[in-house]
Amino acid sequence: MDKSKRYYVTTPIYYVNDVPHIGHAYTTLACDVLARFKRLDGFDVKFLTGTDEHGQKVEKSANDKGVDPQTFTDTVSQNFRDLLGTMNFSADDFIRTTEERHKISVQALWKRLIDAGEIYLGSYSGWYAVRDEAFYGEGELVKDKDGNKVAPSGAPVEWVEEPSYFFKLSAWQDKLLKFYDDNPDFIAPKSRRNEVTSFVSGGLNDLSVSRTTFKWGIPVPGDDAHIMYVWLDALTNYITAVGFPETETGEYATYWPADLHMVGKDILRFHAVYWPAFLMAAGLQPPKRVFAHGWWTNEGQKISKSLGNVIDPIELVSTYGLDQVRYFLLREVPFGNDGDFSRSAMVGRMNSELANDLGNLAQRVLSMVNKNCDGSVPKHGEFNPDDNTMLASAHTMIDGVKKHIDNQSFNDALEVIWLVIRASNAYVDAQAPWKLKKEDPARMETVLYVLVETIRHIALMLQPFMPDTMGKMLDQLAISHEHRSFRFLGSAHALVSGTALPTPEGVFPRFVAEEEKGA
RNA sequence: GGCUGGGUAGCUCAGCUGGUUAGAGCGCGGCACUCAUAAUGCCGAGGUCGGCAGUUCAAGUCUGCCUCCAGCUACCA
């Protein structure tokens, strides 16, 4: 197996206590585009997502509902699985931490860490907030209005003193710093990398990795009183899904180390510090890269449940259309930055870029072809310098796109494609095929040929972002499903003159607000 | 308090190792065209590149100080 031609990308596993929102959709969307892109580029891809189902909070939620935790998680995990269909995500595997394969995997990892002397039994005491699933130092606590000590988040805390296993994280400080140094692209974007290295440079404490205060989790092998700390459990999903503890054959041998863990910026530390430390301590390879993306605000406001302005992906898709939403989320903001979702920005992008620039380009060209070329791919004569410039920009587009995709710079990748789209519209106007129709029909056909061939390239390149719509556009060019990978880019696989084309139909309608309709 | 990143046209942002008239998209104004989803193309307005000082033949681009914003981190009577 050629390891350079395989690609393993993961989303975080989503905490089942949450209801799927735009943040989940955004993270998985980014991975979906990467996975689709790599598949089209000839890679053997594994794209993993799933749900994190253990922990005290889940146990509590289930109790509150009067059901056992397994029944509870079966129900809520499904919400995240449904999101795949809603957003047209092409995940290859959906892992749940309550699965048997995962229990085996986590316990095997634990044993490796024990055997390596990286875990020891001690005792833990501190202020614990169930709601945050985190310990706080005395100094971090604040007083609420009744004078009770609470976490900085406002969550109630309790003094907990219990035996606990510890991972010797403190011993990994130098090795982690060397690892970051040797792998400058491990953490992205750059600003996040700085944050992590400065955090690690500040010193690391050993990490409590077990609890005795609840039961809903994976037991420590040989010491059932202890349940493994949720992050050790959760992070291990990335290797469970490739068949760990089997490491010599099968998917682990093929796909590990993962090419990319996509995460929100809130969980970067777990992925960029704890996870590589766990893996190296167990004698396993850390992942190649962790990318921390930003958050969305809603019309300039921070999104929160209490404000009631949570953005529901299902609603977005039904209002604006699936591919329009997929496009907007990756086009509007440089990936890694925070972004703002606003109705006007959404409509602006979908109308000016999708309907006007791209949709109308396809429509104006295809309808001329339909009316003037017998509804089939036009014949072409010699290409003049203008034609060659146009075609060359279509042919070389992939280079820029690929470069940006490998940096997860989705908006830049789209910009590269849009330069070609704008150039195509300018080319149409400059060549004025509607004039050539009367003056030089053969030349008109050549111009239209250049255009359909350019549109073919644009549609092929945009498939990862907008799979449905680009599928329709390729249908309109009568390109079979077997001819839609990036292998077919370039003049060697150009459209064949005379091929019958279906009647064109617009694929990106303009968005007209309800109140404007019928006005 | 410390660290990091950032303050560039109305808005969102590009500007690599310092070098001729500082760029794009959107928005705005005008012109052209009529194939097309009242779409497209072209032209234009406009910014003392956060402030002050310095280095240099030359600074948005380097240095120092100041200021504002964001993130991370530490600490506190």
- CA/C1' separation A262–B16 (Å): 28
Protein-covered nucleotides on strand B (Cβ within 7 A): 2-5, 13-14, 25-27, 32-42, 71-77
How many CB atoms are located within 10 Å of the residue A218 CB? 24
Nucleotide with the nearest C1' to A348 CA: B26
- Owner of token pair 């449905």: A468
In the β-sheet with A296-298, what is the strand arrangement from edge to edge? A301-302, A296-298, A339-341
> Integer distance in angstroms from CA A168 to C1' B77?
35
| Dihedrals phi, psi of A338, to nearest 5 degrees | -75, 155
Nucleotide nearest to A333 (CA to C1'): B12
Distance in Å, residue A511 CA to nucleotide B38 C1': 14
CA closest to B37 C1', residue: A360
- CA A337, C1' B14: Å apart? 15
Query: Nearest nucleotide to A437 by CA–C1' distance?
Result: B35
Check: CB of residue A204 under 8 Å from CB of residue A173. Answer: yes
What local confidence, expressed as pLDDT, does residue A138 receive?
Answer: 65
Q: Which amino acid is at A499?
A: T
Tens-digit pLDDT string for chain A (519 aa)? 566 799 999 999 999 988 899 999 999 999 999 999 999 999 999 999 999 999 988 999 999 999 999 999 999 999 999 999 999 999 999 999 999 999 999 999 999 999 999 999 998 777 777 776 666 666 666 666 666 676 666 677 777 788 999 999 999 999 999 999 999 899 998 889 888 998 998 889 999 999 898 899 999 999 999 999 889 999 999 999 999 999 999 999 999 999 999 999 889 999 999 999 999 999 999 999 999 999 898 888 888 877 788 899 999 999 999 999 999 999 999 898 888 899 999 999 999 999 999 999 999 999 999 999 999 999 999 999 999 999 999 999 999 999 999 999 999 999 999 999 999 999 999 999 999 999 999 999 999 999 999 999 999 999 999 999 999 999 999 999 999 999 999 999 999 999 999 999 999 999 987 655 543
For residue A52, give the 3-state DSSP assignment: strand
Peptide bond between residue A245 and the one before it cis (omega within 30 degrees of 0): yes
Closest residue by Cα to the C1' atom of nucleotide B2? A198
Q: Can you count the helices (H) and strands (E) in chain A? A: 20, 18
How many Å does it take to go from CA A72 to C1' B13? 45
Considering all nucleic acid strands, name the nucleotide whose C1' atom is nearest to the C-alpha of residue A412. B14
Q: Which two tokens stand for residue A229?
A: 């700390």
- Can you give the distance from the CA of residue A412 to the C1' of nucleotide B12 in angstroms? 14
Number of neighbouring beta carbons within 10 Å of residue A158: 11
DSSP state of A221: T
CA quadruple A432, A434, A440, A445: dihedral positive or negative? positive
Complex ipTM: 0.92
CA of A199 to C1' of B59 (A): 35
Other beta carbons less than 10 A from residue A72's beta carbon: 22
Q: How far is the CA of A431 from the C1' of B9 (A)?
A: 33
Please give the nucleotide, over all strands, whose C1' is closest to the CA of residue A504: B36
Q: Can you list the domains of chain A with their CATH numbers?
A: 3-118+168-293 (3.40.50.620), 344-493 (1.10.730.10)
Does the N-terminal peptide bond of residue A257 adopt cis geometry, omega within 30 degrees of 0?
A: yes
- Estimate in Å the CA A355 to C1' B9 gap, whole number: 27
| Predicted pLDDT of residue A518 | 44
Nucleotide nearest to A194 (CA to C1'): B4
Protein CA A26 to sugar C1' B49 (Å): 34
Q: Which residue is nearest to nucleotide B26 (CA to C1')?
A: A348
pLDDT of residue A514: 65
Query: Which residue from A6, A80, A95 is spatially nearest to A49, judged by alpha carbons?
Result: A95
Please check whether residue A12 is in contact with residue A383, taking contact to mean a CB–CB distance below 8 angstroms: no
Beta strands A93-96 and A44-52: pairing type? Answer: parallel
CB atoms within 10 A of CB A267: 17
Output the distance from A447 CA to B36 C1' rounded to whole Å: 16
CB under 7 Å from strand B: A 137, 139, 190-191, 194-195, 198-199, 202, 265-266, 269, 334, 337, 348, 352, 355-357, 359-360, 362-365, 367-368, 422, 425-426, 428-430, 432-435, 506-510
DSSP state of A141: -
Residue nearest to nucleotide B74 (CA to C1'): A202
Question: Distance from residue A187 (CA) to nucleotide B65 (C1'), in Å?
Answer: 33
